[in-house]
Structure 1
């Protein structure tokens, strides 16, 4: 049996022009994905962010009515650092997102609106590998995104979307899952790393509530620990990893 830990990660597909990143919360993409996104936008590719919530339940010391708008502002600023100008929010309730037809429909609608070839989401499995438990929101949104990539191309699933002018889009070729414990592909993190640090740092209110460590030191250390860990499987280069599902 082949030891997966010794398998080399493949480069991400490059024959695409538009990507849609769908995650649960502000900061989900910045915890590891932003270096790849910076490289893609540098190359002239378009990336759009769709967030299921505004992260309003994410900071214990700030009430949701105040926290939601704050985290939305931080997310828009964070996206701009890596060349993403379009950020939309689906307004599901933070912390209690429910997997099901309503979530799949909202994500399928986003896919039909933006018509990506590549869809990006976050780990949809119960754990991050081993005993590190994932959150229900990540699981629900990741799983619904994988399903919605197919829903978006079927006019008989959610026909109300067609009635709203959102024609079916069967052009999704890959769904790339960030934060997977079973990655298959990677992107060189080097060119985009400094902007990835600055992008995560834009979530300052969240980070300052999370840790007493200096915010920039925290961001740089966290991101480097993950990209450096992937280097052995990517030709010695620090890398952002993805588990890629072809369609």
Structure 2
């Protein structure tokens, strides 16, 4: 078993039914974490979140997205599939995907994400980091021109294998490739320039959730209730849980992440691998 390095912050997984009872062991603090009060985003700043399925962004980053909204970020959520393999067994697939799309839009509204987009032609459970998928992601990156991109980990976490869904890894890999070098290369899919007028764009930074070695924590104590409310919108995914169970699990994961990141007792956090692509880290 590979053990993350000394600066790693363990990432609780939202997909493990037993995770609430087995929080990850505390490790030394991450080398950086957000401070309170949070800085305000530059006027007109955009963020782009790219995930495989409805509910992925909310389990992994809803508290952070709500924090960004409070800071002034205008966030776009791009969901690659409509979650057609994650609904009710006796539900028609068309109805299922419509339900999951509606659930995601409702959840996003709770945390202040107003622009929610779904890609067509990509199936839940069948994702690969193909050039077709990369092109679609590059298109959206150039449309949104975000100050930061948040996505899923392209790296498998052997300590918490259930967090490494193949679709998550595929979207993470496709997104990282799209951020660098494709989005900033005008010769990558030149028709995006000639036909759509989408000029090349350099992504400043990437935030990766579910990474085995995160280096950045966001204090979500003040936005935790919005995270819980957002996830309650995904009735098809969490409606079967006993009353209060979802909040208990989410709080356990967030407490463990905050402790491992060195935040004060009683704080809650979400953790990420923060990668500086075309921008310098703060203080440099």
TM-score of the two chains, using structure 2 as the length reference: 0.80
1:140 corresponds to 2:170: yes
Partner of 2:204: 173
Task: Quote how far apart the aligned CAs of 1:20 are.
Answer: 0.1
1:117 offset after TM fit, Å?
A: 1.3
Matched residue, 2:235: 204
* Stretch of structure 1 that moved more, 224-233 or 106-115: 224-233
Cα-to-partner distance string for 1:37-96 (whole Å, 9 max, x where unaligned): 101101211111001011111125123221101000000000000011110001211110
The CA deviation at 1:131 is 4.1
What pairs with 1:1-247 in structure 2 (closer than 5 Å)? 3-4=6-7, 5-11=27-33, 17-61=45-89, 62-91=91-120, 92-127=122-157, 129-132=159-162, 134-150=164-180, 151-208=182-239, 211-214=240-243, 217-232=244-259, 233-236=261-264, 237-247=267-277
Aligned residue pairs total 243
Aligned 8 A contact 1:116 1:171 in 2: no
| Mean CA deviation greater in 24-33 or 12-21 | 12-21
Gaps of 5+ in 2: 8-26, 278-284
Dislocated runs of 4+, deviation >4 Å: 12-16
Instruction: Return the alpha-carbon distance in structure 1 between the equivalents of residues 216 and 205 of structure 2.
Output: 12
Task: Name the SS for the 2:101 alignment partner.
Answer: helix
Deviation at 1:9, TM superposition (A): 4.4
Question: Which stretches in structure 1 are left out of the alignment for 5+ residues?
Answer: none
1:175 deviates by 0.6
C-alpha distance 125-227 of structure 1, shift in aligned 2 (>3 A): same
